């Protein structure tokens, strides 16, 4: 079938194109997208900081309706509302079996090649039928995409698909970093570097487990205002104040129990580590370019028993955690609607990137004409 998609033709060059989409093979599902969130990772591929093969269909935070299923698919049927998971784990490797499906090598390898796990990509273009790669086994900036069966999580009928789209990356990642990776306990102090789509969800995750204080750090006044809306108790303008001094002031000179880096820059990764208390943990969620390196004080590791760790996809199991997040939203505990500040058409992805970068939106959403 023919589908419209936003294609990254080369780094920095997006164009709306009509592509040929192969139907779902065995164990695969075709999903007609309703909405797809615009994430920093999409921008990193666009800019070349996260180098992946081109041409590529970006987008990995999406929700829609199952359009067709391939042979052997048992968990969803055409018409089911679903959210995409960009980490369809194999369920059989040692990481999957030890409860760390986010580390499964099967999707990691496929994502590096821009394909599905079998090595094929469902999109083609032009008379040559040149393959068009797929970002992170999803490719949500297309009217319809094809993903592995484990790359969809079924939603209850009637679920708001704009809200559900966000569960596929930013909400799952931000809350998971607090609840699972850092395992923040009530009364612990947290600092969050970066108040974009991920950072805001770190803050509301920290509020839900009664962490205090909850310090948001950013260079944008607009984003810090949003941070307060999403649970920050204190804010620091990184371009105006000494971030470390402010954090020490707010924590009786100790530093925070848990610091979260949601930007992906070596300097802020070091700053997050430096802001933690003895015995504290710093969690890197932001995605830096694959060749970036960080400088840290070596003595602080043994003498202060500090932990520096990372968080990939909220250390989550999407089939378990996405329905739980949706229930929290339905119960009024998790604010998802206010994350959606602006909607864009498929041809307006670059404008959505600009809005994300200048901090004028919490989460930009690509919506598809019916």
The residues of the shown chain that bind another protein, judged by CB under 8 A, are 11, 47-49, 51-53, 112, 289-291, 293
- Residue 49 φ/ψ, nearest 5 degrees: -70, -30
Q: How far is the CB of 276 from another protein (least distance, A)?
A: 23
Give me the least distance between CB of 223 and another protein, in Å please: 27
Residue partners of 252: CB distance under 8 A and separation at least 6: none
41 contacts which partner out of Zn ion, another protein, none, CB within 5 to 8 A by kind? Zn ion
Q: Which is nearer to another protein, 48 or 213 (CB)?
A: 48
> Which residues are bridge partners to 4 per DSSP?
18
Alpha helix positions (H), the chain: 40-47, 94-97, 105-113, 161-167, 170-176, 197-208, 221-229, 243-250, 266-274, 300-304, 318-330, 349-357
By beta-carbon proximity to another protein, the closer residue of 128 and 291 is: 291
Q: Which does 169 bind (CB under 5 to 8 A by kind): Zn ion, another protein, none?
A: Zn ion
Joined tokens for residue 35: 């909405």
Q: How far is C-alpha 239 from the chain's CA centre?
A: 25
128 binds, among Zn ion, another protein, none (CB under 5 to 8 A by kind): none
Return the number of the residue (167 or 277) whose C-beta is nearest Zn ion. 167
Interacting partner of 11 out of another protein, Zn ion, none (Cβ under 5 to 8 A depending on kind): another protein
Binding mask 26-45 toward Zn ion (x if CB under 5 A, else -) reads -------------x-x----
Q: Quick one: tokens of 218?
A: 């950013």
103 lies in the binding site for Zn ion (CB under 5 A): no
* C-beta of residue 164 within 8 angstroms of C-beta of residue 155: yes
Q: Applying CB under 5 A, does 287 fall inside the site for Zn ion?
A: no
Classify residue 175 as exposed, middle or buried by CB count within 10 Å of its CB (0-12, 13-18, 19+).
Answer: buried
The yes or no reply on residue 322 touching Zn ion (CB under 5 A) is no
Q: Whole-number minimum distance, CB 48 to another protein, in Å?
A: 3
CB of residue 50 to another protein, shortest distance in Å: 8
Q: Please, what is the minimum distance in Å from the beta carbon of residue 28 to another protein?
A: 23
Query: How many residues belong to the chain?
Result: 370
> Which among another protein, Zn ion, none contacts residue 89 (Cβ within 5 to 8 A by kind)?
Zn ion
Cα 364 from Cα 353, distance rounded (Å) = 8
What does 104 bind: another protein, Zn ion, none (CB cut-off 5 to 8 Å by kind)?
Zn ion
Q: Give the distance, in angstroms, between the CA of residue 346 and the centroid of all CA atoms in the same chain.
A: 19
Residue from 6, 85, 89, 138 in contact with Zn ion (CB under 5 A): 89
14 binds, among another protein, Zn ion, none (CB under 5 to 8 A by kind): none
Q: Minimal distance in Å, beta carbon 237 to Zn ion? A: 26
Choice between 12 and 156, CB closer to another protein:
12
Question: How far is the CA of 280 from the CAs of 189, 248, 277, 307, 336, in angstroms?
Answer: 10, 13, 5, 6, 29
**324 contact, one of Zn ion, another protein, none, CB 5-8 Å limit per kind:** none
Tokens 């989550």, residue?
316
- Determine the Cα–Cα distance for residues 78 and 344; give it in Å rounded to an integer: 27
Q: How far lies 354's CA from each of 170, 218, 357, in Å?
A: 18, 17, 5
Report the C-alpha gap between 143 and 370 in whole angstroms.
9
Encoded one letter per residue, x for contact with Zn ion by CB under 5 A and - for no contact, window 122-161 reads ----------------------------------------
Q: Which of 219, 211, 228, 208 is CA-nearest to residue 281?
A: 211
For the bound state, the minimum distance from the C-beta of residue 150 to another protein, rounded and expressed in Å, comes to 22
Does residue 8 contact residue 43 with C-beta atoms inside 8 Å?
no
Of 11 and 212, nearer to another protein (C-beta) is 11
Q: Does 93 bind Zn ion (CB under 5 A)?
A: yes
- Is residue 285 a contact residue for Zn ion (CB under 5 A)? no
Question: Interface residues with Zn ion (CB under 5 A)?
Answer: 39, 41, 89-90, 93, 96, 104, 169
């Amino acid at each position: 079938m023919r589908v419209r998609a936003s294609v990254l033709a080369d780094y920095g060059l997006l164009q709306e194109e009509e592509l040929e989409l192969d139907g779902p093979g065995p164990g695969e599902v075709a999903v007609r997208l309703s909405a797809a969130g615009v994430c920093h990772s999409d921008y990193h591929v666009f800019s070349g900081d996260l180098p992946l093969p081109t041409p590529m269909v970006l987008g990995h935070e999406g929700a829609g309706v199952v359009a067709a299923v391939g042979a052997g698919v048992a968990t969803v049927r055409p018409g089911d509302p679903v959210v995409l998971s960009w980490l369809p784990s194999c369920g059989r490797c040692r990481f999957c079996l030890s409860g760390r499906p986010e580390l499964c090598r099967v999707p990691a390898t496929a994502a590096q090649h821009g394909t599905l796990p079998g090595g094929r990509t469902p999109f083609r273009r032009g008379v040559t039928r040149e393959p068009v790669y797929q970002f992170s086994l999803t490719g949500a900036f297309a009217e319809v995409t094809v993903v592995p069966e484990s790359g969809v999580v079924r939603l209850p009928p009637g679920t708001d698909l704009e809200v559900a789209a966000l569960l596929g990356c930013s909400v799952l990642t931000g809350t998971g970093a607090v609840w699972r990776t850092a395992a923040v306990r009530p009364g612990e102090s947290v600092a969050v570097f970066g108040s974009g789509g991920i950072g805001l969800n770190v803050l509301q995750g920290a509020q839900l487990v009664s962490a205090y204080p909850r310090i948001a750090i950013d260079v944008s006044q607009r984003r810090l205002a949003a941070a307060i809306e999403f649970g920050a108790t204190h804010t620091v303008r990184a371009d105006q104040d000494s971030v470390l001094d402010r954090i020490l002031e707010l924590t009786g000179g100790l530093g925070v129990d848990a610091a979260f880096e949601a930007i992906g820059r070596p300097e802020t990764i070091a700053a997050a580590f430096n802001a933690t208390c003895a015995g504290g943990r710093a969690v890197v969620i932001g995605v830096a370019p694959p060749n970036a390196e960080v400088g840290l004080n070596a003595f602080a590791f043994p003498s202060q028993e500090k932990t520096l760790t990372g968080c990939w996809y909220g250390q989550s199991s999407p089939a378990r955690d996405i329905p739980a997040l949706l229930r929290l939203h339905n119960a009024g505990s998790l604010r998802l609607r206010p994350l959606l500040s602006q909607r864009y058409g498929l041809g307006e992805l670059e404008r959505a990137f600009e809005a994300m970068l200048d901090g004028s939106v919490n989460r930009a959403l690509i919506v598809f004409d019916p």
